[in-house]
Structure 1
Amino acid sequence: MAINNKKKGKGAVDFTLFLSVMMLVFIGIIMVFSASWPESMMKFGNGYYFLKKQLVSGILGFFVLLLCMNLDYKIYKKFSFPIYILSIISGLLLFTPLGVEIKGATRWLNLGFTTIMPSDIIKIGSVIFFAAFLTNKRDKIDSLAHGTIPALVYIGISCGIIVAEDLGTAITLAGTMMAMFFVAGMKLFHLIPLTVGAMGALWYAVNDPDHPHRIKRITAFRDPFADKLGSGWQVVQSLYALGSGGLFGLGLGKSRQKFFYISESYNDFIFAIIGEELGLLGALFVLILFMIVIWRGIVISLKIEDIYGCFLATGITALVAVQSFIHIAVVTSSIPTTGITLPFISFGGTSLIINMAAIGILLNISRHVNFGRS
């Protein structure tokens, strides 16, 4: 479904995509408020603390979405390299006095008036640049020297900086960029050494002695109930939340697990609170909204005639798909625990604004698509 805006000389906007994202943001604001109430009261004496911050981020994100929606996406190709360099620099700033440690991890930059997560900036910057790279190399993508090796170098640079902050986020970006590379026409034979190398790098990252919590998460994934008071605590509590929700849920605001049983209940495990309070039906509704967003993104990437627009739409869609899949898989104990937020829903100003900016870009690409009767 699309809205035509010919009076202003613009093409069609994918209204289905726009509406689905705004519904996710709205649900996110409500669920952040519900899930964060106990911690807001304990730490700040104000149950509305996280709600206010998320609401402000949502409003700012909405205006950023509108701006990106009305800015020709082709301009990003022209400035893709400077955008990429700036995003990489933002990640390197974590190793300066601007980097601050919160809850045992240095993932934030303290700008004085606010804190931001460079990993979110690197993700969108990498997608914009990688789409331009694939466009420029489209006739040599299947070449080892001119296609595969340079692509892996850029993927390695982007993910290498992020892995110092968070392994899960690095995996998300790697999956996104590999999806773009696959769509661009990478030679499948090159996947063999790539897979071996990726598995080796992942093994090293998991067993890194400087990050002992990673191997504990693998152990907890295999049997979380074996150490349900230790390494398996978070996963067990998440499963309790989902199980107690039943079909219709306990009711909005009536979660029990958010009362300090699940840490980061308004962030990395917010889908568990959704399942507990809104039940299976509520969780399925959120899943359907994400499926609609991904479906519309795929349609846009398939129908856009411009090759850069195709790769850029693919990257943005894959970023949302991979991140949401990992978050939900973690909450349901389908994969080992990692700190990944749920796009548009989890608490986090940088994440919400960047994700809405990305959707704004995708909506602008949709203006150049002839949807017909879709």
Structure 2
Amino acid sequence: MAKKVKKKACDFILLLTTLLLVFIGIIMVFSSSWPEGIRMNDGYYFLRKQIISALVGFVGMLFFMNFDYRFIYRLSKLIYLFSIISGLLIFTPLGVVKKGARRWINLGFATFMPSDIIKLGSIIFLAAFLSKRKDTIREFKKTTIPTIMIIGLSCGLIYLQKDLGTTVTLGATLVSIFFVAGMKISHLILMAIGAIVGLVLAIFTGDNEYRIRRIVAFLDPFADKADSGWQAVQSLYALGSGGLFGLGLGKSRQKFFYIPEPYNDFIFAIIGEELGFLGTLTVILLFMIIIWRGIRIALNTEDLFGCLLATGIVSLITVQTLIHIAVVTSTIPTTGIPLPLISYGGTSLVLYMSAIGILLNISRHVKVDGS
């Protein structure tokens, strides 16, 4: 591991930007979930849960901000094992089926999605695994094959939960870690071909008619806007009606049961409708600041594990944000992907804030210009 570096203050810009996004998320979750809350006879239901999750996430962020990330290196195998076990719990009586998919674990006192735990656990483990093999990183048998097996196991567990969007997100994130570690381009091309073949098979084979319908709807959502193209069309209506300045906070029309779960997979559309182009631009700029600070932290980290871990966290946020915005703007076929730090969801918010905490801790051990 790298020599000991005197710790300093964390990256304040990264911390402030994260808290701003979480605050925006709480406000927008409250606004977009109000109609659903009223239908449940409690308009503040989603707001309360999001605030509690944000507080827990803040504690997690503070903890990992002060927990030396180099100890995470030593615990990487245990963390990954825990994440895999949490994913396997889906197939036990603790697994809960919602909307035709088994993606939740019910512990009685709390419900969580193991896919979020698998994402962070996989990033930590792969970063530690590759940092131990920096001298053989370009060897197919010693490093590339084991890496493909790790990616396959992690993504496979999520795919079995019928969550193709998250599978693609995690796969792209883990490959980006391997790429930064120094993999051969020929191996990258081979993995890309394998991923494309796997994606095509996932869409067009088996009992996946709904995925094919999403592809067809993506090509022309207005051709069947009352059925398969409904979500994409309503999302575009929301963004279009927002204009430059938006209809005003709380004044969205599409959240009144036109867009399914507007506080989660389509929250960016509600931001566009209520806060307009300027509101969406502000959110995008805040994410760009997080990505920029994360990249600088990764580039200035002295040890390989810290670099790869920071790369993985930033890549995960980047890929998931891009997919969410692409879905909402009908740039890619519809898939259920929450917007990091903003969308409703306790497990996601706590895990992302904790991941940012790890990134902040890495920043305390490196010199980053302007921080």
TM-score, structure 1 normalization: 0.96
Per-residue deviation, residues 100-139 of structure 1 (Å, max 9, x unmatched): 0112211100010110000000000000000001101111
Q: Who is 1:193 aligned against? A: 190
- Assess, with a 3 A threshold, how the Cα gap between structure 1 residues 86 and 284 changes in structure 2: closer, same or farther: same
3-state SS of paired residue (1:107): strand
Matched residues in 1 for 2:260 and 2:370: separation? 46
CA distance, structure 1, for counterparts of residue 150 and residue 291 of structure 2: 25
How far apart, CA to CA, are the structure 2 residues paired with 1:176 and 1:189? 18
Question: Are the aligned partners of 2:179 and 2:188 in contact in 1 as well (CA < 8 Å)?
Answer: no
Q: CA deviation at 1:164?
A: 1.5
Measure, in 2, the Cα distance between the counterparts of 1:41 and 1:280: 28
Question: What residue number does 1:145 align with?
Answer: 141
Q: Which residue of 2 aligns with 1:3?
A: none
Distance 2:110 2:219 in 1: 39
For 1:68-83, what aligned pairs fall within 5 Å after superposition?
Answer: 68-83=64-79
Instruction: Tell me the distance in 2 between the aligned counterparts of 1:336 and 1:37.
Output: 27
Query: Which letter maps to 2:131?
Result: T
Q: Structure 2 counterpart of 1:157, which letter?
A: L
Q: Are residue 227 (structure 1) and residue 224 (structure 2) matched?
A: yes
**Offset of 1:264 from its aligned partner?**
1.2
Q: 1:301 aligns with which of 298, 302, 314?
A: 298
Percent identity (aligned): 63
- Structure 1 residue 372 displacement after superposition: 4.0
Query: Can you list the C-alpha shifts for 1:59-93, whole angstroms capped at 9, x where unaligned?
Result: 11001100000000001110101110110111111
1:45 match: secondary structure: coil
The answer to which of 207-216 and 147-156 deviates more is 207-216
Q: What is the SS of the residue equivalent to 2:68?
A: coil
Inter-partner Cα distance in structure 1 for 2:296 and 2:21: 20
1:365 maps onto 2:362 in alignment: yes
Q: How far 1:208 sits from its partner (Å)?
A: 3.3
Matches within 5 A, 1:50-89: 50-89=46-85
TM-score (norm 2): 0.97
Name the structure 2 match of 1:209. 206
Tell me the distance in 2 between the aligned counterparts of 1:184 and 1:373: 26
Kindly indicate whether the alpha-carbon contact (under 8 Å) linking 1:12 and 1:369 is maintained by their aligned counterparts in 2.
no
Cα deviation, 1:4-26, whole Å, max 9, x if unaligned, reads xx9xx741210000000000000
Asked if 1:19 corresponds to 2:30, the answer is no
Are 1:263 and 2:247 an aligned pair? no
- RMSD of aligned residue pairs (Cα, Å): 1.1
Which residue number corresponds to residue 310 of structure 2?
Answer: 313
Inter-partner Cα distance in structure 2 for 1:32 and 1:103: 21
2:120 alignment partner in structure 1: 124
1:169 and 1:312 map into 2 onto residues whose CA distance is 19
Return the match for 1:340 from 317, 331, 337: 337
Q: Distance in 1 between matches of 2:156 and 2:221?
A: 29
Distance 2:222 2:312 in 1: 37
Q: Which runs of 5+ in 2 are unaligned?
A: none
